[in-house]
Chains A and B, each alone.
Chain A
């Protein structure tokens, strides 16, 4: 079995019913997608499979043979964040960080299929994703900000000390 993960092609040795999540983490050492429940219930293992968001814990490898997989790591890096990552960072949409890999990939996919979602539609799209820390409001704020076209200066955001980061295009 073969899959492409974040642009790199891999031949997999794990047995065919291994979940994509376990193969990513344990065989390929791609640890961005997290293990929260192994049962489809929490959303933190969500990745993009051929552009569609999927729970990687529910997908047997045999079902994704040949697929193109994008994980949270494939979206951007601390210095070159995807706008959704930057928005989660700026709006404090991530507290402990454990749900972010799934929340962010699912949110990216949401805006792909619906560039202007209402708050309700965002809630609905993320309703299968559990966050035990933030209370969700800031997560939804972040997704709305990206939909509004706010952009963030990554360099500014990664600074951990000394001043205020301002999103470009945000109303004061």
Chain B
């Protein structure tokens, strides 16, 4: 146990501080490589009415131009392994749904030559009205953002045998809670989309081996996940690809679903040459996935002494133009809408909404940061409305050992109580003795009113 508590040098630190760590863009092959650039949609939503790359293909230095027709398996779902159907094409077919969506890609002798070819591709679009505001997605006359409709039509199951079109968690008796409540405290929270902005933009280097295996030097955060994607799009078994993990120059979730790997690999497949694709800072900002924007409405049934008896939520998750991980993020979000608190009666409802924004993806917490935000803001608001100490409202309602979460998980070691106490201590807040003495052991009548103990005991799965 030498490592625990010890100050250990970073494993790859010596390379980092001496400039010797090799990031993907630093890798040089003896045989050199071609360079990729992508034609990206200039529109948020449009039909592609004509596409002609013949002029571009004849430009000097151009080795290949790929479109959807060149991708062995163009449409593949990021969550296919969970049985989630696929909706996103690697290269757009006859429509584009977000600004920056890749339509075609070029491999050429230099980045300049590749870009010149991209510029020479002739495309005509028929623009459509885009949908940006998720709140408008449900209007009958809303622009159509997705071929499945404006929100994910199923959670679980197969598309043909669709499951529910919403994620729903219910526990206890919400009606009772709202009847019994002294006050209803409401809130609307709208955490915005966030770009990860890693200092290293997405870069991939795909090298075809004579054996037919495709080697990809990748800046992915999720090696095996990305390997699965590359193999799926190339239409080969997993052992047909080898992903080489390079250093990752920051990811924060944004390099989980790096399409740079796959598109570079298809270009390498077609040209039989190594191909490197490095995104510009502009591409990284405009076209890479973001943390989702959310729209959350909450109503809490509270007693005048600060017990949260019930919570009702409605969440809209902005998936952007394609699903990617959104069903997962929405589900995770819905599970956690009570935050670090035990609320006996809840009804949580969430939709994964499609818009014409860049598809959203993982970022630090993946659907849960938005719930922490809503839960903590609600506690503050409840304390303010009731003129109570927010620390005490937190400790009162904190998760305790043995409590059942809305998603049926029974807690073994919930840390809310010690964490809130530690925060109070560090912030120089003097807690009342009974809150200072509080532990994470199961609640007793000493703290909890009898009738609530009963309610807590009753609380469980719907």
Contact = CB atoms under 8 A, between A and B. Distances in A.
A–B contact (CB under 8 angstroms): yes
Interface of A: 25, 29, 31-39, 41-42, 44, 71-73, 75-78, 81, 85-86, 88-90, 92-101, 104, 130-133, 157-165
A94 to B, nearest CB: 4
A99 B18 contact: no
A163 B2 contact: yes
A129 to B, nearest CB: 10
Most buried by A among B12, B199, B278, B280: B199
A98 B9 contact: no
B396 to A, nearest CB: 33
Most buried by A among B3, B14, B198: B14
11 contacts: A34-B200, A44-B199, A73-B19, A90-B9, A96-B199, A97-B16, A104-B17, A132-B252, A158-B14, A159-B9, A165-B9
A7 to B, nearest CB: 15
Interface stretch (B20-28, B64-72, B80-88): B20-28
Contact of B15 (A93, A97, A162): A97
Interface string B7-46: 1111111111111111101101000000000000000000
Nearest to B12: A97
A110 B396 CA distance: 52
A100 B16 contact: yes
Task: Give the 6 A-B CB pairs with smallest separation, nearest first.
Answer: A32-B19, A97-B16, A72-B19, A98-B249, A31-B26, A78-B14
Given A36-B200, A78-B14, A162-B2, A96 B250 contact: yes
Contacts of B8: 160-161, 163-165
The majority secondary structure among interface residues of chain B is loop
Contacts of A33: 19
Contact of B249 (A37, A92, A97): A97
Contacts of B293: none
A39 B375 CA distance: 40
B24 to A, nearest CB: 11
B19 A71 contact: yes
B197 interface: yes
A94 B13 contact: yes
Given A34-B199, A89-B14, A132-B197, A97 B252 contact: no
Nearest to B248: A96
B180 interface: no
A115 B248 CA distance: 33
Most buried by A among B7, B197, B200, B278: B200
Given A73-B20, A78-B14, A158-B9, 10 more contacts: A41-B281, A73-B19, A78-B20, A89-B9, A89-B10, A92-B10, A96-B200, A96-B248, A98-B199, A98-B250
B366 to A, nearest CB: 18
Contacts of A99: 199
Contacts of B200: 34, 36, 96, 98
Interface of B: 2-3, 6-23, 25-26, 28, 196-201, 247-252, 278, 280-281
Given A37-B281, A39-B281, A96 B249 contact: yes
Contacts of A88: 16-17
A96 to B, nearest CB: 5
Most buried by A among B11, B196, B198: B198
Given A29-B28, A98-B250, A85 B10 contact: no
B20 A157 contact: no
B379 to A, nearest CB: 26
Nearest to B247: A97
Contact of B198 (A41, A85, A132): A132
A85 B17 contact: yes
Contacts of A164: 6-8
A161 B2 CA distance: 9
A163 B249 CA distance: 27
A35 B18 contact: no
Contacts of B281: 36-39, 41-42
Contacts of B20: 32, 73, 77-78
B286 to A, nearest CB: 14
Nearest to A72: B19
B18 A81 contact: yes
Nearest to B200: A98
Nearest to A80: B18
A42 B199 contact: yes
Contacts of A32: 18-20
Contacts of A38: 280-281
A33 B199 CA distance: 13
B21 A97 contact: yes
Nearest to A132: B250
B54 to A, nearest CB: 30
B169 to A, nearest CB: 34
Contacts of A160: 8-11
B199 A165 contact: no
B247 A96 contact: yes
Nearest to A31: B26
B365 to A, nearest CB: 16
Contacts of A165: 7-9
Contacts of A29: 28
A157 B199 contact: no
A165 B9 CA distance: 7
Nearest to A142: B17
B312 to A, nearest CB: 37
Contacts of B198: 96, 98, 132
A4 to B, nearest CB: 17
